[in-house]
Chain A
Amino acid sequence: MDVLADLLGGLATALSPQNLLYAFIGCLLGTLIGVLPGIGPVAGVALLIPLTLNLDPTSAIIMLAAIFYGTQYGGTITSVLLNTPGEAASAITTIDGYAMTRKGRAGAALTIAALGSFVGGTIATAGLVVAAKPLGDLGLRIGPPEFFSLMVLGISLLVALAGRSMTKALISGVLGLLIAMVGIDPVAGAPRFTFGSDRLLDGISFVAVIIGLFGLSEILVTARSRSAQVVAPGLRALLPGRDDLRRSAPAIARGTGIGFALGLVPGMTGSVSSLLAYGAERRFGRHRAELGTGAVEGVAGPETANNAHANGALVPLFTLGIPASPTIAVLMGAFLQQGLTPGPTLFAEHADVAWGIIASLFVGNVILLVLNVPLVGLWTSILRIPYPVLTAVILTFMVVGAYTVNFTVFDVFVMVGFGLLGLVLRRLDIPLAPLVLTLVLGPLMERSLRESLELSQGDFTLFLTRPICLVLLVIALVIAASPLLRLRKPAALAEDPEA
């Protein structure tokens, strides 16, 4: 009953005209980012953080969360209409989605995708509601040593699942931690690695780093010159038939289960969920023989899974303070910039904010459903804009985004520097995801390690004498040693730019 009362209180917050407006703007911007080529969800969310800096924390996070799940649907539009996924999680949708477009059924594909995303997102949010309280209570009972061990486990999962090489993923992770070390030491107050510059005392701007690493480097490696040839389906064509709905229902159910379960695991990206959901349709679907030729199940399953994954991935963030993916890490950075620390203490110290945000996820899913189907024409017209023109506009917004966090041109230089670094890392096949995760977790990880060692008066065996720490660290060790043990991982993760 407590949970229900909290959720109703949260709904009252989320349904205030102001927060409804921010959720609406967030869904709109998120879908736009998902549609635009050359800017993925990670850079997109980071780019828009400055827009929320003057808002109150609840409204700011509501808007950023809406941007986050809006990107998931935006990517579908280009997958279905252009055979080009707007973001990695929608890649598998191109197979049957584009085949449906070639059969003149693009409208039905987009509507079923929106419907599946709505169902998957809503059920996953209900899962978050159910899990939030017990997991949050559990989280409150863990001390700095357990928290440190939990972060080691989260990072080891992401590192093990990122890219093709564990060595390169670890290098990326350590670089992120080192970047996080720049600035005033959080415990002793001593400046570190600032080169005597006052501008670095507060650390390197997180937003500028993310925009540079993900957004700018993406533009640097993409030199397209032609715009897309795309035709928007008419409003009547958007309505799926009764047969489409009947056939999609089991695929949506399977996609929800797969997406939500995998969303809980740090390091698993939405691409894996959508790929496995497609695999499930190939194995269990009644019309599996039609997959690949424009079967509606091939759109419904993966699209449901990727939205359920996006909402499921919020569970570890809200309850334990562990971001499960790079985009969630950016969202966590936004929490921290607003003075909120995601995790068990969030429910104790800012219950109204936490439940307001959770309730807004339900509202946002409804907005996405209502907003996106009629606006397909608008999104397709954006796709007709020549890429060089889009690039120029996106670059301008990157400059504005980097500048407005601290109102200094220095951060624009930081963005350019990290854009170049991102280019080098991409060229060398070093994954970017571990860097983002450790950049966000670095200060928290260092603080919990130092607090733990202060508790034990410098005795490192503390981590081996506390059962939860020991279990978490042993699991992390097994994961880290997985290449030696020749454990396999899904190939989708090796190819996933978000991984």
Chain B
Amino acid sequence: MSHESALAQPTHPEPAEPAPPSDARLRTGTQAALVALAVYVAVESLSLGLWASFGPGPGFFPFVLAVALGLLGVAWFVQSLRARPATGAPAGERVEAGHAVAVLGSLVVLAAVMDLLGYQLSVFLFLMFHLKWRAGRGWVLSLALALAGSAGVFHGFEQGLMVQLPPSAVPFLAGWGL
């Protein structure tokens, strides 16, 4: 793209493709969530106090932000209502749902068990899930990488950087150096 053509485009270019209906639901849900968040912050800010004897109180700045967020949420809602139905709002980046769920789900499970099982065992299982089951790699490569990412990183951080990653809270596992 040339310099001239780059500068010649309007500030709000037409979207290349219309947003699917699921996007409209996500958009409306987000707009409602923003307004709800604004109301919560405003109420909380009022209880913190907007003004103190020495000047603005702890709730002053958040209250101003809450009002701004509420107004912006409403403005966005109005803008999306006024957008032409043929084009809708600009579609953002596409997401493969299965991939996103697998990554997020595995991370939540990892975080939930890390203190209990310890870094080494939980990350070993996490890496095996991604390398062997999701990526379909061979056993040797999966085991080697999972060991490097779990035990290797654990001891590397402990010895090299003096940083302690969590050991297992289960005495039996802790006794095994996990």
A-contact 0/1 string along B1-25, CB 8 Å cutoff: 1111111111111000000000100
B-contact 0/1 string along A237-276, CB 8 Å cutoff: 0000000000000000000000000000000000000011
Nearest neighbor of A398 in chain B, beta-carbon distance = B107
A403 within 8 A of B: yes
Within 8 Å CB of A423, what residues of B?
Answer: 95, 100
A279 to B2, CA, bound (A): 6
A-contact 0/1 string along B110-136, CB 8 Å cutoff: 110011000000010011001100110
User: Do A188 and B57 have beta carbons less than 8 Å apart?
Assistant: yes
Partner pick for B3 among A187, A282, A388, CB 8 A cutoff = A282
A420 within 8 A of B: yes
Partner pick for B165 among A185, A275, A279, A403, CB 8 A cutoff = A403
A427 within 8 A of B: yes
Given known A-B contacts A164-B12, A403-B165, A494-B13, A188 and B65 have beta carbons under 8 A apart = no
**B54, B61, B115 interface centre (most CB from chain A within 10 Å):** B61
Within 8 Å CB of B58, what residues of A?
Answer: 185, 187-188, 190, 192
User: Do B65 and A177 have beta carbons less than 8 Å apart?
Assistant: yes
B79 within 8 A of A: yes
B87 within 8 A of A: no
User: Top 7 nearest A-B pairs by Cβ distance?
Assistant: A279-B3, A388-B135, A454-B55, A392-B130, A223-B99, A429-B92, A185-B58
B68 within 8 A of A: yes
**A174, A192, A283, A494 interface centre (most CB from chain B within 10 Å):** A174
Nearest neighbor of B113 in chain A, beta-carbon distance = A409
Q: How far is the CB of B115 from chain A (nearest CB, A)?
A: 5
Interface size range of chain A in the complex: 35 or more
Given known A-B contacts A223-B99, A458-B55, A490 and B7 have beta carbons under 8 A apart = yes
Within 8 Å CB of A92, what residues of B?
Answer: 1
Partner pick for B13 among A164, A278, A424, CB 8 A cutoff = A164
User: Do A491 and B9 have beta carbons less than 8 Å apart?
Assistant: yes
B178 within 8 A of A: no
Partner pick for A392 among B30, B60, B94, B131, CB 8 A cutoff = B131
Given known A-B contacts A178-B69, A188-B57, A395-B107, A389 and B164 have beta carbons under 8 A apart = no
5 A-B pairs whose Cβ atoms sit less than 8 Å apart in the complex = A388-B134, A428-B89, A429-B90, A450-B55, A494-B11
A67 within 8 A of B: no
Within 8 Å CB of B137, what residues of A?
Answer: 386, 388-389
